[in-house]
Every structure is written in structure tokens, then in C-alpha cells.
């Protein structure tokens, strides 16, 4: 959890992007963790960074928070350096574990961190928004993993940051803990005044279902580079397209394969299954044949797209629009 006091420097430009990474490169000896990565995050977005182990997600997050410095390229947070943005209280991070004192109570922990800010949110209100009021007097060391993660969320919110960075926020939590954490985040999003809830969220995660459910935009990283960037639906369609099924006893598979965007056609009895990157074209073709009925379009899972995009022999995707 990053929690320095706000500085008295001039506020950032309101037109500046919350996050702008330009040709970012970071090496550790012979290993290039981040390789010329460029990314811009718009205000109000929830952006998820996905990638296999070693893809460069955590290193990128560390550079956004000023915990690491790039070998080349630049990082700007609301138009200024990460160090200055963190010092001004413009950004807060929830990292993977650590950072809590077991002998403090939940309320004492929030109160202490709030004391580091010149314009902190009220402690009681922050505890309520993070779902911690009922355990405010409990010692942190006696809290469950999910409760401790909600406490870290409260510590991030109490400084009123404009950017909240989450690095594997539910790592190590069971299904119930993950559900409770995200319920707290989403409920806070709906009820919290804009001055308290960060309007922009950057999330690095291995949990594909979390990215699919909560992110407005998904950025897939492989080998320290952005290989796909788009909405969850665009990412799903980029690598795996969609599946269209229809009951069509006399279907001519050769003609179906000729429809633009079709990748494969499979026939089982009277049912035809078509995998395609252009489901609209396939549906139009099927609807032009009266014998085809019970047409159904199914989106592929994000997991299938992710595995295809991050395979060693996979090329760059054209999902969505690259933001730079």
C-alpha cells in the first residue's frame, strides 16, 4: 500500500491521461522484463493487464507506482512522474500481501494511514465503504485473508487517490474471499462520492473471470509487449471468434466454409457448428437459406482467447484499438 502525504505542489493538468506509458523498457541483467511497452489509460476506465507468468505485468505496475524506474521510455501519471504523483496522493496501490501490522486494530490502521494525508477521507466513512465497520476493533492479525485485503482497499481509498492500482488483489484468497473483495469494490463504486472513489483503476491479475466481469478494457501482455488491447468482448473474439450453430439437414459444408471469416465447419447429424471471426456474416448466410433453423450464436470464453494469444507461436492480435 502506497500512502505518503500529499505535497503542496500545483495540481496536475485535468486533461492529462491518468496513465501514459511510452516505449517503456526495463531489464534485469540479461532478461528484458518490459520491452518497449506503450499504453494510455483514459479517466474512469477499469483496465485489466493480463499475461502469463513473467509477461511483465508486475514490473509494469511497479514502474507506474514509482517502485522501479525504467531503463528507457517514460511513465506519466496525470501528466507527471510517478514519484511526484505518489507524493501528491494522486495514486494508491494494493500490492500482493504484506504492509499490515498485526497488533493494530482495523480502525487504528486506517486512522494511522489517514493521518499521513492532508485531506484524508473520514475514517468512519472509509471503514463503512470497505465493509469493515463490524470488525473495526478487531486486531489485524486476527482478520481473515479476505478481511485483510478489504483493509488494504480501505487504506487505498482513505487518501482520495485519482488512480488505484491493484496487483493480483485476490491472489491467495479462496472463492469466498475473492467474491467478498469484489463485492466490496463494486458496492463502493456505486455508493461512494467521486471525491472518495478513484475514478480510474488499473488491475494486474491472473484471474480471467475477474478481468472479464469487472474490466472495461483488457490489455494482454506477452514478453513485455502489448499483444492485444480491447474490450473483453473484443479480446474474446480476436483469437477465438464466435461459434454459430444451426439445424440444417442438407447443409453444404463447402459453401459454408466460403463465407467470410469462417475458420472451421463441423457437422454432427443435422447440426452444423461454425467457428468464425465474423458471426454476423455467418448468420446472414444461414438466414438466407430457409432450411437452416434454430440458429444460435455463442461467445467464446476469455480463457480460450487468452491461451491462443499468449501461445509461444502466436502473433500479435488486432483486437480493439491500440491506445498509445
* CA–CA separation, 73 and 81 (whole Å): 12
Collect all residues with Cβ–Cβ distance below 8 Å to 129 and sequence separation of at least 6. Answer: 154, 157, 188, 191, 192, 196, 197
Kindly state whether residues 248 and 162 are assigned to the same domain: no
What pLDDT digit, counting tens, does each position of 155-214 carry? 988 888 889 998 888 887 788 888 888 888 877 665 555 444 557 889 998 888 888 888
Tell me, yes or no, whether 128 lies in a domain.
yes
Q: Which band of pLDDT confidence, cut at 50, 70 and 90, is reported for residue 1?
A: low
Kindly state whether residues 212 and 283 are assigned to the same domain: no
Kindly state whether residues 76 and 208 are assigned to the same domain: yes
What pLDDT digit, counting tens, does each position of 294-303 carry? 999 987 677 7
Phi, psi of 265 (to 5 degrees): -130, 130
What pLDDT digit, counting tens, does each position of 224-270 carry? 999 999 998 888 776 656 789 999 999 999 999 999 989 889 999 99
Structural domain tally of the chain?
A: 2
Kindly state whether residues 223 and 77 are assigned to the same domain: yes
* Domain carrying residue 256: 242-299
Average pLDDT for residues 31-58, to the nearest whole number? Answer: 93
pTM: 0.73
* pLDDT score of 306: 79
What pLDDT digit, counting tens, does each position of 16-40 carry? 789 999 999 999 999 999 999 999 9
Amino acid at each position: 500500500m502506497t500512502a505518503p502525504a500529499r505535497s503542496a505542489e500545483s495540481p496536475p493538468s485535468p486533461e492529462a491521461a491518468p496513465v501514459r506509458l511510452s516505449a517503456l523498457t526495463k531489464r534485469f541483467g540479461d532478461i528484458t522484463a518490459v520491452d518497449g511497452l506503450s499504453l494510455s489509460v483514459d479517466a474512469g476506465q477499469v483496465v485489466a493487464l493480463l499475461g502469463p507468468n513473467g509477461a511483465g505485468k508486475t514490473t509494469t505496475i511497479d514502474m507506474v507506482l514509482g517502485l522501479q524506474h525504467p531503463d528507457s521510455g517514460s511513465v506519466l501519471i496525470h501528466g507527471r512522474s510517478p514519484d511526484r504523483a505518489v507524493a501528491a496522493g494522486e495514486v494508491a496501490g494494493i500490492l500482493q500481501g504484506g504492509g499490515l501490522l498485526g497488533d493494530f486494530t482495523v480502525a487504528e490502521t486506517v486512522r494511522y494511514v489517514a493521518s499521513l494525508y492532508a485531506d484524508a477521507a473520514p475514517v468512519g466513512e472509509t471503514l463503512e465503504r470497505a465493509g469493515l465497520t463490524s470488525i473495526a476493533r478487531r486486531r489485524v492479525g486476527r482478520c481473515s485473508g479476505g478481511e485483510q485485503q478489504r483493509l488494504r482497499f480501505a487504506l487505498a481509498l482513505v487518501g482520495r487517490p485519482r488512480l488505484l492500482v491493484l496487483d493480483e488483489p485476490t491472489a491467495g484468497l479462496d472463492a469466498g474471499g475473492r467474491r467478498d473483495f469484489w463485492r466490496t469494490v463494486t458496492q463502493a463504486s456505486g455508493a461512494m462520492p467521486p471525491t472518495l472513489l478513484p475514478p480510474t483503476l488499473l488491475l494486474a491479475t491472473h484471474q480471467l473471470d475477474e478481468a472479464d466481469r469487472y474490466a472495461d478494457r483488457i490489455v494482454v501482455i506477452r514478453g513485455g509487449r502489448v499483444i492485444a488491447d480491447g474490450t473483453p468482448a473484443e479480446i474474446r473474439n480476436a483469437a477465438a471468434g464466435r461459434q454459430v450453430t444451426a439445424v440444417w439437414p442438407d447443409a453444404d459444408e463447402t459453401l459454408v466454409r466460403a463465407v467470410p471469416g469462417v475458420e472451421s465447419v463441423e457437422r454432427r447429424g443435422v447440426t452444423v457448428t461454425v467457428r468464425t471471426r465474423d458471426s454476423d456474416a455467418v448468420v446472414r448466410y444461414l438466414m438466407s437459406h430457409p432450411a437452416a433453423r434454430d440458429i444460435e450464436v455463442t461467445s467464446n470464453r476469455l480463457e480460450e482467447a487468452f491461451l491462443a494469444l499468449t501461445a509461444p507461436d502466436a502473433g500479435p492480435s488486432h483486437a480493439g484499438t491500440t491506445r498509445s
